[in-house]
A and B are shown apart, each in its own frame.
Chain A
Amino acid sequence: MRNFKRPLFLVVLVSAASWLTAQQNFSLYHMESLPQRSTLNPALMPDCKWYVGFPGFNSLGVQATNSGFNLNEISKAIDISGSDTLLNLNRLLNVFSKQNYLSLKADQTRVNFGFRAKKHFFTAAITDKAGIKVGYPKDLFRFIIDGNGGSNLGETFDFRFSADAYHYREYGFGYAYSIKNKLTLGTKVKYLQGISRAELRDAYIKFRTRPEDYAFEISGNYQLNVASSLGQIITADGSSPVLNATGFYKGIKNTGWSIDLGAEYAFTNKLKLSASLLDLGYINWKQNTTSIVAANPNATFVYDGFHISSSDTAVDPAAYFKRLGDSLTGMFSSDTVHRSFRSTLSTELMFGASYAFRKNLKLNALFYGDVYNKRLMGGLTLGLFWRPAKIFSLSLNNTFYGRALLNPGFCMAFNLGAWQTYISSENFLAPLMPGSVRGTSFRAGWNFTFGRSKSRGIGTGDPGNNKGGGKAAPIDPTSI
Chain B
Amino acid sequence: MNKITKTFSLVLCVMLLFAACMKDPLGKIKDINGVRWRGDYAAPLVNVDLNLEDAVALVNPDWVSSFPDKTLLIHYDKKHYSKKGEELYVVGDRSFNGNIIPTAAELSTLNSSGAVTVSRNMVFDMGPGVGLQFDSMWLKAGTFISAIAVSTNHRGNVTVEFSDLIEGGLPVSILRDWSSGGSINQNLIHAVSGIEPLDLTKGNQGFNQIRVKVTWELIKTGAVVNNEQLKLNLITNGLKFRKLYGNLGQTGLFNVQDSMDLTLFSNNILKGNIVFEDARIKVHFKNSIGLKSQYQIQQLSLIAKNGTPVAVTSYNAVGNIAAAPDNTSETEITDSVYITKASGSNVASVMKTEPYYLAYNIGAAVSPGRGYIWDSSDIALTVTTELPMLVSTKDLVLEDTSDLDLGIGKEGDYVEMIKFKMNAENGIPLGAGVQCYFMDATNKVLDSLFQPFRYAIKQADIDAGGNVLSASKDQWELVVEKPRISNILKAKRLRTRAWIPTSSYNGNPVPVRITTDQKLKFKLGAEIILSADAKF
Instruction: List A residues at the B interface (Cβ < 8 Å).
Output: 1-2, 5-6, 9-10, 13-14, 71-72, 74-75, 78-79, 81, 84-90, 144-153, 209, 212-216, 303-311, 313-315, 358, 360-361, 384, 386, 388, 394, 396, 398, 406, 408, 429, 432-436
CB closest residue in chain A, given B53: A310
17 further interface pairs, Cβ-Cβ under 8 Å (given A87-B35, A308-B50, A384-B8): A74-B25, A75-B23, A75-B28, A85-B28, A87-B36, A88-B35, A88-B36, A90-B36, A149-B527, A303-B44, A305-B45, A305-B46, A305-B47, A306-B46, A309-B48, A408-B15, A435-B22
Closest-CB distance, B479 to chain A (whole angstroms):
12
- Complexed CA–CA distance, A122 and B18 (Å): 43
Contact B43 A145, beta carbon cutoff 8 Å:
no
Q: Which of B7, B16, B25, B44 contacts A213 (CB 8 A)?
A: B44
Closest-CB distance, B145 to chain A (whole angstroms):
59
Q: Which of A6, A14, A214, A435 contacts B42 (CB 8 A)?
A: A214
- Complexed CA–CA distance, A479 and B9 (Å): 21
Residues of A within 8 A of B15 (CB): 396, 398, 408, 429
Residues of A within 8 A of B39 (CB): 144-147
Contact B42 A71, beta carbon cutoff 8 Å:
no
A396 touching B11 in the complex, CB below 8 Å, given contacts A9-B32, A146-B39, A305-B45: yes
Contact B47 A307, beta carbon cutoff 8 Å:
yes
Closest A-B pairs by Cβ, 3 of them: A214-B525, A435-B25, A314-B54
Contact B421 A214, beta carbon cutoff 8 Å:
yes
- Complexed CA–CA distance, A311 and B421 (Å): 24
Residues of B within 8 A of A358 (CB): 4
Q: Which of A74, A307, A309 contacts B29 (CB 8 A)?
A: A74
B256 within 8 Å of A by Cβ? no
* B1-35 interface bits toward A, Cβ cutoff 8 Å, 1 = contact, 0 = none: 01011011001100110111011111011111111
A148 touching B41 in the complex, CB below 8 Å, given contacts A310-B51, A388-B4: yes
Residues of A within 8 A of B32 (CB): 6, 9-10, 78, 85-87
CB closest residue in chain A, given B525: A214
Closest-CB distance, A311 to chain B (whole angstroms):
7
Instruction: List B residues at the A interface (Cβ < 8 Å).
Output: 2, 4-5, 7-8, 11-12, 15-16, 18-20, 22-26, 28-51, 54-55, 57-58, 421, 423, 523-529, 533, 535-536
Closest-CB distance, A207 to chain B (whole angstroms):
12
CB closest residue in chain A, given B20: A432
A89 touching B36 in the complex, CB below 8 Å, given contacts A71-B26, A149-B528, A429-B16: yes
Contact A147 B40, beta carbon cutoff 8 Å:
yes
Contact A213 B28, beta carbon cutoff 8 Å:
no
Contact B36 A305, beta carbon cutoff 8 Å:
no
Residues of B within 8 A of A72 (CB): 25
- Complexed CA–CA distance, A153 and B529 (Å): 13
Closest-CB distance, A201 to chain B (whole angstroms):
31
A14 touching B36 in the complex, CB below 8 Å, given contacts A5-B536, A361-B7: no
Contact A307 B523, beta carbon cutoff 8 Å:
no
Residues of B within 8 A of A153 (CB): 42
CB closest residue in chain A, given B534: A86
Q: Which of A85, A145, A215, A308 contacts B31 (CB 8 A)?
A: A85
Closest-CB distance, B3 to chain A (whole angstroms):
9
Residue pairs across A and B with CB atoms within 8 Å: the count is 188
CB closest residue in chain A, given B527: A149
Residues of A within 8 A of B22 (CB): 406, 433, 435-436
Contact B536 A6, beta carbon cutoff 8 Å:
yes
- Would you mind naming 11 contact pairs between A and B with Cβ atoms under 8 Å apart? A85-B34, A145-B39, A147-B42, A213-B44, A214-B525, A304-B44, A309-B49, A309-B54, A432-B19, A432-B20, A434-B26
Residues of B within 8 A of A13 (CB): 29
CB closest residue in chain B, given A361: B4
Contact A86 B36, beta carbon cutoff 8 Å:
yes
CB closest residue in chain B, given A3: B536
Contact B46 A308, beta carbon cutoff 8 Å:
yes
Residues of A within 8 A of B48 (CB): 308-309
Q: Which of B57, B423, B524 contacts A212 (CB 8 A)?
A: B423
Contact B49 A214, beta carbon cutoff 8 Å:
no
A435 touching B41 in the complex, CB below 8 Å, given contacts A306-B47, A309-B49, A358-B4: no
CB closest residue in chain B, given A314: B54
- Complexed CA–CA distance, A214 and B42 (Å): 6
Residues of B within 8 A of A209 (CB): 42
Closest-CB distance, A98 to chain B (whole angstroms):
20
A213 touching B40 in the complex, CB below 8 Å, given contacts A314-B55, A435-B26: no
Closest-CB distance, B260 to chain A (whole angstroms):
30
Residues of B within 8 A of A386 (CB): 4, 8
Contact B8 A396, beta carbon cutoff 8 Å:
yes
- Complexed CA–CA distance, A384 and B7 (Å): 11
Contact B57 A314, beta carbon cutoff 8 Å:
yes
CB closest residue in chain A, given B28: A75
Residues of A within 8 A of B37 (CB): 88-90, 145
